[in-house]
């Protein structure tokens, strides 16, 4: 279950109110897990059942970590934003009628800032052996724009992480300590680009080796 105190959750929920985001899903998992997964934001399925990564992308993630040899019970799941960012899309159908949909979108910087205290708290208290970021949003929330997923996926980065310095003045700072980061692609990326799968499984082989070197297996 989440480790984040109710007062932090309340402030963050309030800060998200001005934005087009719905629902709220707590981070989930044990303290001292093998992995902490940092994704982007929950989707529709997660908003309805409250379980992180329980939708289509979550099924892919389950396959990945079965391959690595780490079960859900050894993973803490969280993301840059804990609500679902949406946008309106109007699609004109053949019969001329307009179909209106509210689709997922990536959280912007203001939204990431609104929920930043949640992820900061989780990083400070969950104590994973390895942090794994999924996609550019998870990666850049923690290290800024100096890295992009296409250039650093599958590498282990020992680094301080981006965290709130001054919540009121909206300033970002850095953690005191360093963390072990392993970026890979977001599981939803293979829905648009199947050919990424080869790279991803190479990343997962490296992750297994890193965990083995840390004495996890």
Residue number, 29 or 43, with CB nearest to ligand URA: 43
Question: For residue 35, what are the contacts with CB-CB under 8 A and spacing of at least 6?
Answer: 65, 70, 74, 75, 76, 128, 129, 130, 131, 132
Residue number, 130 or 136, with CB nearest to ligand URA: 136
Strand, helix or coil for residue 5: coil
Do 129 and 181 form a contact (C-beta atoms < 8 A)? no
Question: For residue 178, what are the contacts with CB-CB under 8 A and spacing of at least 6?
Answer: 158, 159, 160
Smallest distance from ligand URA to CB 29, Å: 12
Residue number, 43 or 128, with CB nearest to ligand URA: 43
Q: Both tokens of residue 94?
A: 């053949």
Using CB positions, name the residue nearest to ligand URA. Answer: 39
Smallest distance from ligand URA to CB 95, Å: 33
Residue number, 66 or 170, with CB nearest to ligand URA: 66
Q: Which residues bind ligand URA (CB under 6 A)?
A: 39-43, 46, 52-53, 55, 57-58, 79
What φ, ψ does residue 122 adopt, rounded to 5°? -60, -45
Residue number, 84 or 162, with CB nearest to ligand URA: 84
Do 176 and 123 form a contact (C-beta atoms < 8 A)? no
Smallest distance from ligand URA to CB 58, Å: 6
Smallest distance from ligand URA to CB 82, Å: 9
Smallest distance from ligand URA to CB 93, Å: 28
């Amino acid at each position: 279950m989440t480790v984040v105190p109710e007062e932090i959750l309340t402030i963050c929920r309030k800060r998200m109110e001005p934005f087009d985001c719905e629902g709220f899903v707590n981070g989930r998992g044990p303290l001292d897990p093998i992995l902490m997964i940092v994704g982007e934001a929950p989707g529709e399925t997660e908003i309805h059942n409250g379980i992180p990564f329980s939708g289509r992308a979550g099924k892919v993630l389950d396959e990945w970590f079965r391959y690595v040899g780490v079960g859900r019970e050894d993973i803490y799941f969280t993301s840059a934003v804990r609500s679902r960012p949406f946008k309106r899309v109007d699609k004109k159908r053949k019969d001329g009628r307009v179909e209106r949909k509210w689709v997922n979108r990536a959280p912007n910087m203001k939204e990431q800032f609104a929920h930043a205290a949640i992820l900061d708290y989780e990083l400070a208290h969950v104590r994973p052996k390895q942090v794994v970021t999924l996609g550019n949003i998870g990666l850049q929330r923690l290290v800024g724009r100096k890295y992009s997923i296409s250039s650093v996926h599958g590498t282990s980065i020992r680094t301080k992480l981006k965290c709130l310095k001054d919540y009121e003045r909206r300033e970002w700072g850095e953690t005191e300590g360093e963390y072990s980061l392993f970026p890979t692609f977001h599981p939803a990326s293979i829905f648009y680009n199947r050919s990424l799968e080869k790279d991803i499984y190479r990343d997962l082989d490296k992750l297994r080796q890193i965990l083995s070197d840390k004495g996890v297996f």
